[in-house]
Structure 1
């Protein structure tokens, strides 16, 4: 993938920025193919989704809404058409892979924008590819990061792609060190200490959303829970990427609760947005408490009083894989060959010409 990007992007971006962007989105789809294949082979998990009924534009079909039938596509229909912002609690580094696979199943995996630490852009192979995917790398210094956010949000607004901007407002995965820092800050600010999440950071999320208002209709709020964990466990210690892909210690089910907020209903001012974000994470913390009690997210009013009586939540289960993956992989390798074979001959011809020219000058 790196070779294909290096062979094409360095000149294509000058010839046609639009085609170059589409090419790198296709490369992002290739990389997600690899993630889906690795997960299907070494960590074959199921995605168990539950959702608020507000996800359906037509709420009259209650029977179909709670099944694994075709109506589940409408959960993410606005995101597929217009793009969205996705916010989530951050349990393990597997979270972003699962969300990317979810976007893959919605055929939007080429449009995902993930926020990462600035050091990662220089990691050989992976860092180079993510830079070409136009991922967002932050230095954790607001003066620098604000400019970075501005550039990336401007590109999302200007382009017609249904971009999925993924943000983890907690800033990092749960760990004892971060829990202690979060608890200390909660005590200082007079907030209740969360049990299963960290206090969210609202500043970057608010700034991004302020730039995207009018471009995206919804913010999708995901709450992630991993099968087999108990209250008090550190998810990353149990299901780290090395354990999952290296030792095949993985959750058989990843539970995802999906909630959708209309951007127009989210406060724009700093205080209002911060209060809204804090309330979102208070609900997440409560939802996670029920998850650890039930081993899944609640389904109805008897399991969670916040769910309206007589209105069970939406439910569906998906395998974290694609049945067409072998064909996709064959197609991907054929495209690699189609790109790299002529590139090799062109570069070889250029090199031979340059050597001949230098030899002629020296003689």
Structure 2
């Protein structure tokens, strides 16, 4: 892996040991926060740890299909691309997702529900939208876009077993970049994974949207992580393992 082998980056995955035996043995929708430039590499690391990297997919903006090498590779491995204009995406995304119902290998389907990477300016605009809609403010995330998530759940229901709620953070206020990774710079990541059975996600589109908003309200922001997870450690077994899997 570019992330761990080339740059030596440590990506420690924290999860409930009761959920661990299911990872890599079921199809899952991975909901990952979108704050860092190398989020997708950490998502690849998660899939690689559990032996499903070869079959895993992502819902990505269409512009990425034109990126040399990576974009072409994604196109030929049947990644799902969207324009972020729902009128255009409804049909194309639905058709792409339906192909995954018969996919022969286990896979993780990664979706960044925030739609774009977090910046302070985007966050300010996003919270204005949240206020206008009567939704609670999110300190460390953008307001999730619900339509892509809802259509993913609807298209893959009875094929996908769970949603993996994943929240990524880097220690010591690190701001990792792809260039830094390519230059061999080492970063220190924590990826918190919570397994939620897909049966707990409502089928109705409006209720599914409300469920996703609640999920993002529950996500713990970077500044509250240490205290929160110390509490979690003593209240429900939390298991963590690093690059070596130990």
TM-score in terms of structure 1 length: 0.63
Conserved in 2, the CA contact under 8 Å of 1:39 and 1:245?
Answer: no
Give the secondary structure class of the aligned counterpart of 1:259: strand
The aligned counterpart of 1:313 is 237
Looking at structure 2, the residues matched to 314 and 75 of structure 1 have their Cα atoms a distance apart, in angstroms, of 16
1:289–1:156 distance in 2 versus 1, CA, 3 Å: same
CA drift of 1:298 comes to 0.6
Looking at structure 2, the residues matched to 197 and 208 of structure 1 have their Cα atoms a distance apart, in angstroms, of 21
Choose which of 276, 282, 290 in structure 1 pairs with 2:224: 290
Give the secondary structure class of the aligned counterpart of 1:228: helix
Conserved in 2, the CA contact under 8 Å of 1:156 and 1:163?
Answer: no
- Structure 2, gaps ≥5 residues long: none
Structure 1 segments (4+ residues) deviating >6 Å: none
Conserved in 1, the CA contact under 8 Å of 2:101 and 2:159?
Answer: yes
CA RMSD of aligned residues (A): 2.2
Q: Decide which structure has greater strand share.
A: 2
Conserved in 2, the CA contact under 8 Å of 1:46 and 1:317?
Answer: no
Aligned length: 245
Looking at structure 2, the residues matched to 194 and 184 of structure 1 have their Cα atoms a distance apart, in angstroms, of 11
The aligned counterpart of 1:134 is 78
1:52–1:144 distance in 2 versus 1, CA, 3 Å: same
The aligned counterpart of 2:210 is 275
Give the secondary structure class of the aligned counterpart of 2:140: coil
1:91–1:168 distance in 2 versus 1, CA, 3 Å: same
Q: Is 2:123 the partner of 1:179?
A: yes
The aligned counterpart of 1:159 is 103
The aligned counterpart of 1:257 is 192
The aligned counterpart of 1:90 is 34
Q: Give CA deviations for 1:322-341 in whole Å, capped at 9, x if unaligned.
A: 9xxxxxxxxxxxxxxxxxxx
Conserved in 2, the CA contact under 8 Å of 1:87 and 1:219?
Answer: yes
Conserved in 2, the CA contact under 8 Å of 1:116 and 1:138?
Answer: yes
Q: Give CA deviations for 1:136-164 in whole Å, capped at 9, x if unaligned.
A: 11111112211221122111102232121
Q: Is 2:175 the partner of 1:244?
A: no
Give the secondary structure class of the aligned counterpart of 1:124: coil
Give the secondary structure class of the aligned counterpart of 2:155: helix
CA drift of 1:310 comes to 5.7
TM-score in terms of structure 2 length: 0.90
The aligned counterpart of 1:197 is 141
- Structure 1, gaps ≥5 residues long: 1-35, 57-71, 230-234, 323-363
Looking at structure 1, the residues matched to 22 and 13 of structure 2 have their Cα atoms a distance apart, in angstroms, of 11
Conserved in 2, the CA contact under 8 Å of 1:111 and 1:164?
Answer: yes
Conserved in 2, the CA contact under 8 Å of 1:266 and 1:273?
Answer: yes
Conserved in 2, the CA contact under 8 Å of 1:118 and 1:139?
Answer: yes
Q: How does 1:1-363 map to 2 (within 5 A)?
A: 36-37=1-2, 39-42=4-7, 44-52=8-16, 55-56=18-19, 72=20, 74-76=21-23, 80-229=24-173, 238-246=175-183, 248=185, 250-251=186-187, 253-284=188-219, 286=220, 288-291=222-225, 294=226, 298-299=229-230, 303=231, 307=232, 311-319=235-243
1:38–1:315 distance in 2 versus 1, CA, 3 Å: closer
Looking at structure 2, the residues matched to 151 and 276 of structure 1 have their Cα atoms a distance apart, in angstroms, of 24
Q: Give CA deviations for 1:194-226 in whole Å, capped at 9, x if unaligned.
A: 111111111110111101111111111101111
1:127–1:98 distance in 2 versus 1, CA, 3 Å: same
